[in-house]
Amino acid sequence: MSGRLFVIGLGPGAADQMTPEAAAALEAAQDLFGYGPYLDRVPVRPDQTRHASDNREEISRAAAALSRAQAGATVAVVSGGDPGVFAMAAAICEAIESGPPDWRAIDLQVVPGLTAMLAVAARVGAPLGHDFCAISLSDNLKPWAVIELRLRAAAQAGFVLALYNPVSRARLWQLDAAFDLLRGILPAGVPIVFGRAAGRPDERIAIVPLSEAQADMADMATCILVGSAATRLIHRPGLPPLVYSPRSQG
Amino acid sequence: MSGRLFVIGLGPGAADQMTPEAAAALEAAQDLFGYGPYLDRVPVRPDQTRHASDNREEISRAAAALSRAQAGATVAVVSGGDPGVFAMAAAICEAIESGPPDWRAIDLQVVPGLTAMLAVAARVGAPLGHDFCAISLSDNLKPWAVIELRLRAAAQAGFVLALYNPVSRARLWQLDAAFDLLRGILPAGVPIVFGRAAGRPDERIAIVPLSEAQADMADMATCILVGSAATRLIHRPGLPPLVYSPRSQG
């Protein structure tokens, strides 16, 4: 008799941005799996077993969680933001596809969460107000040439871009390479939003023109929004500017 | 002394998918503005004034809400899903930009919500597991040629697509035109997810290959996910298949 597996999105980090659905799934779990800093956001309960792992170990974490669920436990795998956006839901599916047939019978429920680009966008106005793309800048799992192709295609077609995983300790040059590529396509004044830890105590939001965007303005906790040529700033006396992408474009 | 304006995302519809932050902002409001069916999701409170309007009246709704806030009230404008994704946050910014200077001093807070594509994706696995785009198929505010350009660019570059506003009573041919265009680019077997009213009692989820996708499978409450060539199905005995887009691609 197999158990249940929840793949839960904790949202960007603020407690009041996690859905009640996610809170209920956490409540039901006997075993919690996740990257350490995400697990640290979940209040400790002595009757739950916690299995923290590093952020490069998605597939082994997925397999361990599926094994526990297969053994009958109610298991939660937690992701920051939304589990379906550059996070654990795809890793769980990959593990199911290549794993033992019994794993396909596990009661799997993906519980969505607020993904970072929505939280960052809300802080500055409506930068995602028209068509947009989400791109991971990590070339751990796809070639850099694919990332360049997608950045170019999306910027040329007038999408706003949300850049996830912009830098890491091991990936330093990719973000500046992305900005250089984008400077060849978009006007110099296009607003770039660096949204770090949106909604958390250590939140830091910066808005700069594309001409001044640099990789050292971002860290691992940053989601970057790149405007389109249509994206505009509204200046406000005594308040930060609003950034928005108008609904109408031609 | 001007008041406050919250622009609130109610999420896809299920009460347990609305964030506590959104619930608190609704609680604080004296005046509620929104498209009728979204306002209907908010429990009636006799001390709140409700201003329902039609879904083609975003700018006049925005102006009315800003006027009330300017007059000192605490005002909430509600959107389904996330207010920053094809919804009211951009309309509010447009109204501020072209409105009286005093509107720029209003305390504006955008409260994010779960947008439809995340809720639909969670129902079927991890179809947004790699880079993806969100495109509105409505040509009320942008030319159809721009939409075609973006569909083509995104599909050719290997993005998964989330199609918002796929059809309306007045727009019937656009979705079939989009599927025809995509059939010229993507393999016939690419999974298409029709996600209607995710999380609500009238939810309906269908998965078909691109070759069989037709506009009459969608209505105004549907968000459509179009896989990339890499998107896969995992068949499960006695359960619906999982749809996922692997994190690694080349």
Interface confidence (ipTM) of the complex:
0.97
Q: Which residue of B has its CA nearest to A150?
A: B157
Helix B88-98, helix B58-70: angle, nearest 10: 70
Q: Cβ(A34)–Cβ(A15) under 8 Å? A: no
What is the model's pLDDT at position B1? 60
A136, A193, A247: best to mutate for the B interface, most B CBs within 10 A: A247
Q: Between B129, B131, B249, which is nearest A135 by CB?
A: B131
Residue A69, min C-alpha distance to chain B (Å): 16
Same domain, A14 and A100: yes
Task: Tell me: do B107 and B129 sit in the same domain.
Answer: no
Specify the number of domains making up chain B: 2
Q: Are residues A108 and A149 in the same domain?
A: no
Separation CA A161–CA A226 (nearest Å):
5
Contact A111, B17 (CB under 8 A): no
Kindly state the average pLDDT of the residues B65-75.
97
Boundary-marking domain end, from B94, B114, B134: B114
Q: Does the CB of B141 have a partner CB in chain A at under 8 Å?
A: yes
Q: CA nearest B242 in A: which residue?
A: A93
Q: Is A134 on the interface with B (CB under 8 A)?
A: yes
Residues of chain B with pLDDT > 70, as a percent, come to: 99
Residue A73 lies in a domain: yes
Burial of B56 (0-12, 13-18, 19+ CB in 10 A): exposed
With an 8 Å Cβ cutoff, is A165 touching chain B?
no
> A205 and A191, same structural domain?
yes
- Do B10 and B83 reside in the same domain of the chain? yes
CB contact, 8 Å: B229 with chain A?
Answer: no
Q: Are residues A124 and A229 in the same domain?
A: yes
- Same structural domain for residues A140 and A49? no
> Domain of B73?
4-114
Query: Is the domain of B97 the same as that of B139?
Result: no
Domain identity same for B160 and B175: yes
Q: Which of A157, A237, A239 lies closest to B150 in CB terms?
A: A157
Residue spans of beta strands (DSSP E) within chain A: 4-9, 31-35, 49-53, 74-79, 107-111, 125-126, 132-136, 160-164, 191-196, 204-209, 222-226, 232-236, 239-244
CA distance B33 to B79: 9
Give me the average pLDDT of each 10-residue run along chain A (250 residues). Answer: 91 96 97 96 95 89 97 97 97 97 97 98 97 95 95 98 93 94 98 95 96 96 97 96 88
**Residue A39, pLDDT score:** 95
**What is the share, in percent, of chain B residues with pLDDT greater than 90?**
91
Asked if residue A249 belongs to a domain, the reply is: no
- As given in the structure block, the two tokens for residue A118 are 């929505």
- Do residue B74 and residue B123 come from a single domain? no
Are residues B135 and B215 located together in one domain of the fold? yes
Q: Which residues numbered 50-109 in B keep a CB inside 8 Å of some CB on A?
A: 58, 82-86, 89-94, 96-97, 104-105, 108
Domain with residue A18: its CATH number is 3.40.1010.10
Q: Is B135 on the interface with A (CB under 8 A)?
A: yes
